[in-house]
Chain A
Amino acid sequence: MNAAAPQSAAPLVDVRDMTVRFIGRDLDVRVVNGVSFTLDRGSSLCILGESGSGKSVTMRALMRLFPPTAKLEGHVQVDGIDVLSLGDNQLRQIRGGLISMIFQEPMTALDPVFTIGQQIAETLVYHEGISYRAAHARALQLLELVQVPSAKRRLEAYPHELSGGLRQRAMIALALACKPKLLLADEPTTALDATVQIQILLLLRELQRELGMATIFVTHDLGVACEVADKIAVMYAGKFVETGTVEQVMDAPRHPYTQGLMNSTIHADMRGVTLDPIPGAPPDLTDLPAGCPFAPRCSSAREPCLTLPPELVPLDAGQAARCLQYDGASGFGQAPLLKVS
């Protein structure tokens, strides 16, 4: 599907048993509780989840974009590099070079006191060691690549002088400056208007195909995932609860949480239908239940769900779900249904 990408056998990203804890004076929150996945070169993964599910933290872990209070454990490898063993200088090399990131709010991600051109050129000068003049010329090409109209004039503009859509395009140009192999996008279109959101999504999809990058999107919007993702990982309480291709997950979600999420999502022609939302609220990460963290909200929960933490069970054709109903050894089938409060 990505013919332009040089295909090699090893996946670009290999994450195993990753945990992230935020430790403070009197708190110890496990935000990511054992996430494992691989991502092939040139393909795109969408991490879907509600606020507080740990999706942004999972993504930031790939370039260790954390405050010192965070503790990252497990195995994180990107393009053969063990990210956890890198020192500060080496980290600075891969950030923006090998891996780069675009954020939800371009106004806070861009520096307000430098022009767009200066910011792109600075990255190029640092990573590629070229002259400022050459970097400025490349910056112009990049703005044209991301389809900024009258790019030459926009190079001299400060972030506040641009509209939301143009600012997001400028941030994409900045992220692509050093031809990263992996692009991370944290809710890249959530702050944008509908007519602009679709432009940016299609631009990202096109650039990914052209440049052969792998991308990881984080979003809470099923529609966004449908437009850009090859694979989807649904996240709940710091774990992947369902993984599969976008078609598999959209056609036949297997985890009760994914099913609930789809029932709560309003799409066309639902007028007059009473919605069937997931009851309750996401769990408190400092006080997770012993068994399945979704059990207190799950309408198909049975007794073993309260004590046995479920594993990710492989189903047909690569789809997987972290639910005891697919685990024959759990005794789920024999136990009576629990009543959800």
Chain B
Amino acid sequence: MSTVPSPPGKRSTHMTSIPNEADPRDRGGPAQPLLIVEGLKKHFPIRGGLLGRPQAWVQAVDGVDLIVNKGETLGIVGESGCGKSTTARLLMHLMTPDSGEVIFDGDAVGAVRGLTVRDLRRQMQMVFQDSYSSLNPRMTIEDSIIFGLVAQGIASKEAKTRAASMLRMVGLTPDMFAQRYPHELSGGQRQRVNIARALTMSPRLLILDEAVSALDKSVEAQVLNLLQELKRKLELTYIFISHDLNVVQYISDRVLVMYLGKAVEIGPVDEIYRSPKHPYTRALLASRPSMDPRRRMEKPPLSGDPPNPINPPSGCRFRTRCPIAEGVCTDKVPALGSVLGLAAHPVACHAHHPGSGHSAAPAEGAVH
């Protein structure tokens, strides 16, 4: 693995290498994670009073670290208000983070001599949950798709050819669909158009924010098959955000679990689902309906709702609902630890950190 000596704004990591085909846009080599995010933070002010000064802050995303390796699918799960969609918007720079670094294939985004936001969006695209409101109702499907291409300086004729081939790629016949308006399409077809539009710039990373959640089950399965096929054909990397734990397990290679603006656990999908470490991950997974009428659940794994992100609990944010919370959980914020590496499985819980003071913590120096 070779990474060029790093000029300012560049960063490399040491990992086992994964096979890679020569892609002219691949700058950092196969071992360089496609995306490194460090300390991502976004607090929204709640303004009020006579002068409209901030009265309180919603801590939507509060110091999230993650990496996305080339060619993998990173799933992000969590309940509403945990900050998973805000994270996606911060990565796309649809919002400016309060602090934190986003490094795309070794280039810091927005930094001097780094990647501009415009360049970033050529390589990173996003598909949203509501397929209808993400298309302009007064534009035909074709116009919607070529809009981005034309904005990036591609001639309209060339753009139309690309739009037609993209529509074919997502399973829609251009002759039938190019001149239609969004309201003439079904939800599944509209979501295919959104995927086609996101792919016109040939991005390397696609963020799917609840992209299949609003679809009927039979259509959801069709779109998931399409996403898998496109990923193989176009060598894409996905960030797949969903509240549906089964879909995330199906599609992801690694999974990030979020709770109230914090990453609580990240690791390979099989490890997370077979042996979850964080008490929240355990409860979340145990909350899935059994799918077997003879083995119904008797007691809910958690009680209560997630607290308000405006005034999150001190220390560990999960402690108010946690079955194993102790004094140390109120006093100290548990750190997540290093997210680097393909097999890393860090967890932000005192009960797993040696020497944290939690009675269930492993002895200091022990390997866990």
Asked if A and B are interacting partners, one says yes
List, in ascending order, chain B residues with CB within 8 A of A50's CB: 216-218
Complex Cα spacing A214 to B302, Å = 27
Cβ contact within 8 Å between A227 and B249: no
List, in ascending order, chain A residues with CB within 8 A of B221's CB: 263-266, 275-278
A340 interface hit (Cβ, 8 Å): no
Complex Cα spacing A229 to B218, Å = 22
Cβ contact within 8 Å between B297 and A198: yes
We find that the number of chain A residues with CB closer than 8 angstroms to chain B is 46
Complex Cα spacing A65 to B302, Å = 35
* Closest A residue, CB atoms, query B251: A271
* Closest B residue, CB atoms, query A248: B293
Question: CB < 8 Å: which of B80, B222, B225, B308 contacts A193?
Answer: B80
Complex Cα spacing A165 to B81, Å = 13
Cβ contact within 8 Å between A223 and B225: no
Question: CB < 8 Å: which of B186, B228, B273, B305 contacts A163?
Answer: B305
A69 interface hit (Cβ, 8 Å): no
Cβ contact within 8 Å between A195 and B301: yes
Q: Which residues of A306-329 are within 8 A (CB) of B? A: none
Cβ contact within 8 Å between B228 and A274: yes
Size band of the B side of the interface?
Answer: 35 or more
Residues on B lying within 8 angstroms of A by beta carbon are 79-80, 186, 188-189, 216-222, 224-225, 228, 243-247, 249-250, 269, 273, 283-284, 287-294, 296-306, 308
Mark interface residues in A191-231 (1 if CB within 8 Å of B CB, else 0): 00111111101100100000000000000111110110100
The minimal Cβ–Cβ distance linking A157 to chain B, given in whole angstroms, is: 14
Cβ contact within 8 Å between B217 and A264: yes
Question: CB < 8 Å: which of B291, B296, B300 contacts A267?
Answer: B291
The minimal Cβ–Cβ distance linking B164 to chain A, given in whole angstroms, is: 22
The minimal Cβ–Cβ distance linking B37 to chain A, given in whole angstroms, is: 24
Complex Cα spacing A189 to B303, Å = 15
User: Known contacts A202-B297, A275-B224, A281-B186; is A265 also within 8 Å of B217 by CB?
Assistant: yes
Complex Cα spacing A276 to B79, Å = 28
A67 interface hit (Cβ, 8 Å): no
Question: CB < 8 Å: which of B219, B245, B290, B297 contacts A194?
Answer: B245
Mark interface residues in A41-74 (1 if CB within 8 Å of B CB, else 0): 0000000001100000000000000000000000
User: Known contacts A164-B305, A226-B290, A274-B225; is A220 also within 8 Å of B217 by CB?
Assistant: yes
Question: CB < 8 Å: which of B216, B296, B301 contacts A226?
Answer: B296
Complex Cα spacing A205 to B219, Å = 30
Mark interface residues in A273-311 (1 if CB within 8 Å of B CB, else 0): 011111101100000000000000000000000000000
Most chain B beta carbons < 10 A, residue from A201, A246, A270, A277: A277
The minimal Cβ–Cβ distance linking B84 to chain A, given in whole angstroms, is: 12
The minimal Cβ–Cβ distance linking B241 to chain A, given in whole angstroms, is: 14
Complex Cα spacing A267 to B220, Å = 13
Complex Cα spacing A194 to B283, Å = 10
A145 interface hit (Cβ, 8 Å): no
Complex Cα spacing A51 to B287, Å = 25
User: Known contacts A195-B79, A195-B283; is A227 also within 8 Å of B290 by CB?
Assistant: yes
Cβ contact within 8 Å between B247 and A194: no
A34 interface hit (Cβ, 8 Å): no
List 13 extra interface pairs beyond A197-B287, A266-B246, CB under 8 A: A193-B80, A195-B283, A198-B289, A198-B300, A199-B303, A224-B289, A227-B289, A261-B218, A266-B224, A266-B250, A276-B221, A281-B189, A282-B216
Question: Would you list 30 pairs from A and B whose C-beta atoms are within 8 A, ordered by A residue?
Answer: A163-B305, A164-B305, A165-B305, A194-B245, A194-B287, A194-B288, A195-B284, A195-B287, A196-B79, A196-B305, A197-B287, A198-B289, A198-B297, A199-B300, A199-B302, A205-B296, A223-B289, A223-B290, A223-B291, A226-B289, A264-B218, A264-B221, A266-B221, A266-B224, A268-B246, A270-B246, A270-B249, A271-B249, A275-B224, A275-B225
List, in ascending order, chain A residues with CB within 8 A of B302's CB: 195, 199
Q: Which residues of A251-272 are within 8 A (CB) of B? A: 260-261, 263-268, 270-271
* Closest A residue, CB atoms, query B186: A281
The minimal Cβ–Cβ distance linking B204 to chain A, given in whole angstroms, is: 23
The minimal Cβ–Cβ distance linking B99 to chain A, given in whole angstroms, is: 28
The minimal Cβ–Cβ distance linking B253 to chain A, given in whole angstroms, is: 9
List, in ascending order, chain B residues with CB within 8 A of A199's CB: 300, 302-303
Cβ contact within 8 Å between A195 and B300: yes
The minimal Cβ–Cβ distance linking B318 to chain A, given in whole angstroms, is: 11
Cβ contact within 8 Å between B217 and A261: yes
Complex Cα spacing A278 to B218, Å = 6
List, in ascending order, chain B residues with CB within 8 A of A250's CB: 291-293
Complex Cα spacing A50 to B189, Å = 16
User: Known contacts A261-B217, A264-B218, A274-B225; is A193 also within 8 Å of B243 by CB?
Assistant: yes
Complex Cα spacing A15 to B217, Å = 28
A149 interface hit (Cβ, 8 Å): yes
Complex Cα spacing A226 to B295, Å = 9
Complex Cα spacing A198 to B292, Å = 14
List, in ascending order, chain A residues with CB within 8 A of B283's CB: 195
A174 interface hit (Cβ, 8 Å): no
A156 interface hit (Cβ, 8 Å): no
The minimal Cβ–Cβ distance linking B214 to chain A, given in whole angstroms, is: 9
Complex Cα spacing A219 to B244, Å = 16
Most chain B beta carbons < 10 A, residue from A194, A263, A276: A194
